[in-house]
Amino acid sequence: MTAVHPLQGQVAAITGAASGIGFASAKAMADAGARVVLIDRDEAALARACAAIGESAVPVVLDLLDAKQCASLLTRTLAIAGQLDIFHANAGLYVGGDLVDADPDAIDRMLQLNVNVVMKNVHNVLPHMIERGRGDIIVTSSLAAHFPTPWEPVYASSKWAVNCFVQTVRRQVFKHGIRVGAISPGPVITSLLADWPAEKLEEAKANGSLIEAAEVAEVVLFMLTRPRGMTIRDVVMMPTNFDL
């Protein structure tokens, strides 16, 4: 029989947690018994998210693109909760469309958050997990990491990099009792789709080719609640009607 609160006694930190997949993931973990540290730069949205989850949610206002703030993620989490069992590296940006039309500054910002910050965050939390002899790290990747999507070469490239990072780090740290995996959803109804062409977004909504953030969170929870001897290294999920 599955435990009613399988994450009871655990502490989770989620980046980009004020909305979308991050919020849905935090809520799912809180409902499963975890104390959740929601990390985001949007203070007002973060306050609303924590209020919606309840007393098990704690906000940490952090701009991950600021190097000093980024480096404080573990310290601030431990100051609040004393330990870290689960880290969900979810924060990300989207740049779509033809490469020739892309803004170089937007490319830099997206690669910094989608790739460099993920690596630095994982680097930050690993010593604590290694010392404790256990931990779970989940990274939000994308279906774009598994297929050369022609409408988003910059974004897809960032997710290919992230998937390589997840698979290589996983092989380094499993001996410490740490599981590392990625969730690779197809199009999810979040603010990241704001840059999609309007006609493409409306078409996807009309034909059922989008996933709800809560559905992604259910898969994240599935990954976290497997027996410790099992690692779900990468879950690719997409709307049934989504056609590459």
Which residues does the annotation mark as catalytic?
Answer: 155
> What are 202-215's pLDDT values in tens digits?
666 666 678 889 99
- Sequence-ordered list of residues with C-beta below 8 angstroms from that of 69, at least 6 positions apart, any chain: 62, 63
Does residue 180 lie in a domain region? yes
Does residue 4 lie in a domain region? no
Tell me, what's the pLDDT at 154? 95
Could you tell me the pTM of the whole model? 0.92
- Ramachandran class of 40: left when φ > 0, alpha when ψ lies in -120 to 50, beta otherwise: beta
- 173: domain range? 11-236
- Domains of the chain: total: 1
Tell me, what's the pLDDT at 199? 72
Does residue 175 lie in a domain region? yes
Does residue 117 lie in a domain region? yes
Identify the CATH number of the domain in which residue 221 sits: 3.40.50.720
Tell me, what's the pLDDT at 202? 66
- Burial level of 62, CB count in 10 A (0-12/13-18/19+)? buried
Tell me: pLDDT of 2 over 60: no
Tell me, what's the pLDDT at 116? 98
Mean of per-residue pLDDT scores for the chain: 92
